[in-house]
Amino acid sequence: MLSDRATLLFAIGTFIFAPAPVHAEIVSAGTRLEVRLSVPTGSRISHSGDHIQATVIAPVFTEGQLLIPQGAIVSGVVESVQRLGLGLKHLTSGIEYRFDSLQLTGGTAIPIEARVVRVETAKEIVNADGMISGIHPTANLSSTVAFYTLPLLYLNPEVAASIWGIKFIVARSPDPEIYLPPGSELILQLTAPADVPATAVAPQGLAPLSAADIVDVHRIIAKLPPQQTGEGHNIPSDLVNILFLGSRESINRAFHAAGWSGAQRTSIKSIYRIYQSMVQRIGYTMAPMENLMLNGAPNDAGYQKNLDTFSKRHHVRLWKQEEEDAWLCTATEDIGYRLRRMHLTHAIDPLIDNERAKVLNDLAYTGCLDAATLMTRDSSNSTVQRERFSSTDGKIAVVRINACLQPRQMPAGSAEFHLGKRTRAVQALVALRDDLIRTNPISLALNTTRLLRAHRDPQIKRFIFTGRKTDSSENRTQSKWTRPSVLDTNGQ
């Protein structure tokens, strides 16, 4: 009897003094995480089971509440690797990641299930299963030349050798293997809900602009009736969607700390590099940017961020205003090529609000933003291009930059394509070997037969036939995704 009473009292005491359960918020399946790789990976250097790690660079909200802050760490492993090699076993290279852990900035670690849905500004595509697929080795100009000149090696070796020599100088075959260096940015998607302790994430947010700043901003905006830039010949172009308040030096430090690069001037050397970037399918971090006119004045500065292709990039242009330390800015994302007025140019993603959020998130990561506010334009002075930017809210983000003397750096990495330690001579010999193996009639017939049987991934199948990227499942749903912004914590 005494034993029963003691057991009852112990149970009651345990119930009374037990710690209260920690309330957890649910991050739903389908939520996206923007991350930046901290380690190099690729089809040539990675192996199944290799540890990978990336840093969250954009906040995640649920109903206005911050759940996953910038700086959180996601970890996982390389699930599988598909090296192209000589192209006799696989049609393209491939690599797949599995992310299974999220460590919040306070040290709390929670399990997650996430896969890749997009590699930012990359030539690679991602299929519905999260496999990153490389380019097809024969879907390019150089391989086409190799295919048609290959018979000459047998009929007229001297002529063929001359043609192939010129080809390696002006149109070397691109490397079809995948290489994602540190600093590569991925968009992940949770495949299952995740529980985030509500107390694990400290509230974050930017202070609103001061009353004096708002008065100055209204005066600046009032001088710009069009509220958009022009390409010349009275043709409207990009929409002004950011206003920076700060010195040029502080803005420059903030963008570089966030992993953005400047732009070189157009020259014979830069034009040649553009050509090589397009032919060899590699990135050009300092590619020249075409000047745009704003109220008759060309842009004063520009920044860009890309990975391993010239066709895609995040980029901004800035115009210095008469007011001290005031810079109007257009933020847009190039998503491919298009033919306009008989010359090749970049196509812009019409979802420019996502690009505005991208710029704000990146700069907020560095700690160089003091205050920010989304302001609505005067509708009577706005001529927003509804045909090109039909989904924009029409607002302009006004951001005050601090001195940015000790910014937090994005995870290190170069956006330039990494060719390893091979010398140019070795690269040429490898390219020659690969062309001989991949473009001969036997290999082409074998790969074509295998391709016709590959009905599981029609995106890659069409890519191989046409040599062009097609709308992947990610691109088709991109228009439905609204990128979170650090200003969401301000209720704006």
Q: Which domain holds residue 390?
A: 211-413
What are the tens digits of pLDDT across the range 259-275? 999 988 888 988 888 88
What integer pLDDT is reported at residue 116 of this predicted model?
Answer: 96
Identify whether 157 is part of a domain. Answer: no
**What pLDDT band is residue 20 in, cutting at 50, 70 and 90?**
very low
pLDDT at residue 404 greater than cutoff 90? yes
**What pLDDT band is residue 9 in, cutting at 50, 70 and 90?**
very low
Identify whether 424 is part of a domain. Answer: no
Longest dimension (CA), the chain: 106
Identify whether 161 is part of a domain. Answer: no
Q: Distance between alpha carbon 447 and the CA centroid of its chain, in Å?
A: 31
For residues 215 and 124, membership in a common domain is answered with: no
For residues 19 and 120, membership in a common domain is answered with: yes
Tokens of 235: 């043709």
Identify whether 150 is part of a domain. Answer: no
Identify whether 321 is part of a domain. Answer: yes
Write the DSSP symbol of residue 464: H
Find, among 287, 75, 310, 281, the residue nearest to 179 by Cα: 281
For residues 133 and 221, membership in a common domain is answered with: no
- Per the prediction, the chain carries an average pLDDT of 77
Identify whether 472 is part of a domain. Answer: yes
Write the DSSP symbol of residue 198: G
| Spatial distance between the Cα atoms of 145 and 199, rounded to a whole number of angstroms | 61
Tokens of 316: 């901004």
For residues 221 and 191, membership in a common domain is answered with: no
Find, among 91, 85, 73, 80, the residue nearest to 41 by Cα: 80
* Mean pLDDT on 153-175: 63
**What pLDDT band is residue 5 in, cutting at 50, 70 and 90?**
low
For residues 105 and 239, membership in a common domain is answered with: no
What integer pLDDT is reported at residue 38 of this predicted model?
Answer: 93
How many domains are contained in the chain? 2
pLDDT at residue 16 greater than cutoff 50? no
What are the tens digits of pLDDT across the range 103-131? 987 778 899 999 999 999 999 999 988 99
Which of 229-233, 308-312, 337-341, 385-389 has the least mean pLDDT? Answer: 385-389
For residues 188 and 215, membership in a common domain is answered with: no
Q: Residue 187: which CATH number?
A: 2.40.128.260
Find, among 181, 295, 307, the residue nearest to 230 by Cα: 295
What integer pLDDT is reported at residue 426 of this predicted model?
Answer: 65
What are the tens digits of pLDDT across the range 453-483? 655 555 444 444 333 444 444 444 344 688 9
Contacts 24+ apart (CB under 8 A), 377-385: 377/221, 377/227, 378/221, 378/222, 381/221, 381/222, 381/224, 381/225, 381/227, 382/227, 383/225, 383/226, 383/227, 383/228, 383/236, 384/227, 384/228, 384/239, 385/228, 385/236, 385/239
pLDDT at residue 356 greater than cutoff 60? yes
For residues 279 and 319, membership in a common domain is answered with: yes
What are the tens digits of pLDDT across the range 28-38? 899 999 999 99
pLDDT at residue 192 greater than cutoff 50? yes
Domain stop point among 413, 436, 465: 413
For residues 188 and 283, membership in a common domain is answered with: no
**What pLDDT band is residue 136 in, cutting at 50, 70 and 90?**
confident
Tokens of 106: 């306070």
For residues 183 and 244, membership in a common domain is answered with: no
**What pLDDT band is residue 21 in, cutting at 50, 70 and 90?**
very low
Domain stop point among 413, 437, 463: 413
For residues 30 and 83, membership in a common domain is answered with: yes
What integer pLDDT is reported at residue 375 of this predicted model?
Answer: 85
Q: Cβ neighbours of residue 233 under 8 Å, at least 6 residues apart?
A: none
pLDDT at residue 76 greater than cutoff 80? yes
Structure-model confidence comparison of residues 439 and 117, the more confident one: 117
Write the DSSP symbol of residue 140: S
* Mean pLDDT on 202-224: 76
Angle (CA) 100 101 106, round 5°? 170
Find, among 423, 426, 440, the residue nearest to 152 by Cα: 440
**What pLDDT band is residue 487 in, cutting at 50, 70 and 90?**
confident
For residues 224 and 287, membership in a common domain is answered with: yes
Identify whether 40 is part of a domain. Answer: yes
For residues 318 and 462, membership in a common domain is answered with: no
Label residues 148-170 b or e (16+ Cβ within 10 Å = b): ebbebbeeeeeebeebbeebbee
What integer pLDDT is reported at residue 479 of this predicted model?
Answer: 46
Identify whether 274 is part of a domain. Answer: yes
